[in-house]
Structure 1
Amino acid sequence: MRWFGPAETRQVLVAETDVRVGGAYLVGFSTEDGKEHHASGHYREVEPQRRLVFTWAWRDAPGEVSLITLEFTPTGGGTELAFLQTPFVDQATRDSHDHGWSGAMDRLARHLADAA
């Protein structure tokens, strides 16, 4: 709730998770332009502190489902995160997700720095 969403996120509206294989999640946020965005999916793989794989679909484009894989690797000073999302219906969609996830990762980094 404190960091999710692209750089232009105004407020996280919902973040519900059931983190287990087959479990579902729902996230929603509003952006500075006043629009709301909601995505949901199901967890396919859950390996605590190692790997998380889940589907991703926007509420307004439920037929465009992608798969997100997060891999966590311990490092000397913390954890390295590898992120992969595929497939995309076209390059514009891929670029839009790249922008959104880059902003979310920046927001996460600021949140973790503030918490330290």
Structure 2
Amino acid sequence: MTVRSDDTTLEITRVFDAPPARVFAAWLDLGQFQSWIGPEGIDCEVELLEPRVGGRYRLVMNTPERVIPVSGVFRSIEPCRRLVFTWGWEGDAIRQSLITLTFREIGGKTELTLRQEGLGSVESRDGHVRGWNSALNKLDHYLSGGARR
């Protein structure tokens, strides 16, 4: 795993023991996405997933302290190669960011690079680094045949 960042951008690179088609599908298939999205220990419900350019998604993270709705729009979908979408905490128009996922095959495995731009502050960036690393741990477990959540 590699993590790079500046004040308002993060970049995380992970390698998964699955081909790009499988990793890509885990982001756009409702049943698969629901099985792993969200940080470890947080209940996350996917309420909407429209996997097409211009399509929307909405998920709700239920933490012990609060309910956190997140939504966005798919900007670009290049099957098994690249996925670009907005990410915003509902009720906070200022905190819209852009996520670019890049999928690269390496010997039957997938190198996934997640880049999130426009986070607004170092604190926001650091929180998102923790959250995405935790969610990617769940994705790795899911792709390895682990049980839901």
TM-score normalized by structure 2?
Answer: 0.70
Aligned residue number for residue 8 of structure 1:
41
Structure 1 gap ranges (5+): none
Q: CA deviation at 1:15?
A: 4.2
SS of the equivalent of 2:37 reads: coil
Computed over aligned residues only, the root mean square deviation of the Cα atoms, in angstroms, reads: 1.4
1:41 aligns with 2:103: no
Residues in 2 aligned to 1:87 and 1:97: alpha-carbon distance in whole angstroms: 11
Counterpart of 1:20 in structure 2: which amino acid?
A: R
Task: Tell which has more relative contact order, 1 or 2 (C-alpha 8 A, sep 6+).
Answer: 2
| Secondary structure in 2 matching 1:114 | coil
Alignment of structure 1 residues 52-91 onto 2, 5 Å: 52-91=83-122
Task: Give deviations 1:48-81, integer Å, cap 9, x for gaps.
Answer: 1100001100113232110000000112132110
Aligned counterpart for 1:19 among listed residues 27, 51, 75:
51
Q: In the aligned structure 1, how far is the partner of 2:67 from the partner of 2:144? A: 27
Q: Which runs of 5+ in 2 are unaligned?
A: 1-33
Aligned length: 113
* Aligned-pair identity (%): 38
| Aligned counterparts of 2:52 and 2:93: Cα–Cα separation in 1 | 22
Query: C-alpha separation between the residues in 2 aligned to 1:88 and 1:13?
Result: 23
Q: Give the secondary-structure state (helix, strand or coil) at the position aligned to 2:92.
A: coil
Residue 28 of structure 1 is matched in structure 2 by 60
CA contact (8 A) 1:2 1:12 kept: no
> Structure 1 residues 14-23 or 47-56, which shifts more?
14-23
TM score, norm. by length of structure 1: 0.89
Q: Which residue of 1 aligns with 2:143?
A: 112
Give the partner amino acid of 1:93: S
CA deviation string 1:21-51 (max 9, x = no partner): 11111111213x2522211111111101100
Structure holding more helix per residue: 2
